[in-house]
Amino acid sequence: MCLKKIHKSKSLLLSCFLGLAISTGGCGIIDKHVEWETIEPESYPVLKAVGYAPISSQHGESDSMKLIMAMKASKLDAYRELTEQVYGQKIEGNQSLSHLVIDSETLRASVEGVIRGAEVVKAYPVGEDTYVTELALDMQQVYDIYLSTAKPRRVKDVKYY
């Protein structure tokens, strides 16, 4: 009895393999040629950002050093704002309760990204103690930079042989 079951399962397995070999053996492998085209957006926005920095709060031995440090700080602040527009902001929050009363609450924001192609539109002091930097990021330039590294594509045509 046991030998008959083993013989039946062997023959069933053999017939499955034979059927699979026949069904795939009759088909030839189809080769194809895919033609791609690049995708280009219809319009490109220009993103703008403004950065501010206090002059008197900067570290420096003289007023001119403090002004230079404020120039750098306002430029970094403008770049941070551009990065927020392009990549968004990561927000982390934390609360702790003690006896069903909020014990502490923290909120943290961070931004991370790479900005290429931004231009300083204006940099100027405002009033007695503030320095301002205005940046613009033309997304056409960003797209051109992107195309130089990785070309976005879509299928234009497929030909089967």
Check if the beta carbon of residue 137 is closer than 8 Å to that of residue 113: no
Question: Looking at the predicted structure, is the pLDDT value of residue 1 above 90?
Answer: no
State the pLDDT confidence band at 3, using cuts at 50, 70 and 90.
very low
- Is 30 found in the same domain as 90? no
Least confident of 1-15, 42-56, 99-113, 117-131: 1-15
Backbone CA torsion sign across 135, 140, 143, 147: negative
Residue 132 placed within a domain: yes
56 and 109 belong to one structural domain: yes
- Whole-angstrom Cα distance, residue 52 to residue 79? 11
pLDDT of residue 2: 47
Q: Which residues contact 57 (CB under 8 A, 6 or more apart)?
A: none
In terms of pLDDT, which residue wins out, 83 or 8?
83
Residues 88 and 141 in one domain: yes
pLDDT at 115: 92
Question: How confident is the model at residue 19, as a pLDDT?
Answer: 58
For residue 144, the model assigns a pLDDT of 82
How many domains, in total, are found in the chain? Answer: 2
Q: Decide if 39 is inside a domain.
A: no
Distance CA 23, CA 135 (A): 65
Distances (CA, A) of 99 to 28, 68, 90: 73, 51, 30
The C-alpha atoms of residue 133 and residue 123 are separated, in whole angstroms, by 4
Question: Which residue in this structure is represented by tokens 């007023």?
Answer: 63
Predicted pLDDT at 81: 96
C-beta separation of 60 from 72 below 8 A? no
What is the span of the domain harbouring residue 29? 2-34
The model scores a pTM over 0.75: no
Q: Mark whether 154 and 81 lie in a shared domain.
A: yes
Same domain for 13 and 90, yes or no, is: no
Convert the pLDDT of each residue in 102-159 to its tens digit: 889 999 999 999 998 899 999 999 999 999 999 999 999 888 887 777 766 777 778 7
Q: What values do phi and psi take at 60, rounded to 5?
A: 170, 155
pLDDT tens across 62-108, in order?
999 999 999 999 999 999 999 999 999 999 999 999 888 888 999 99
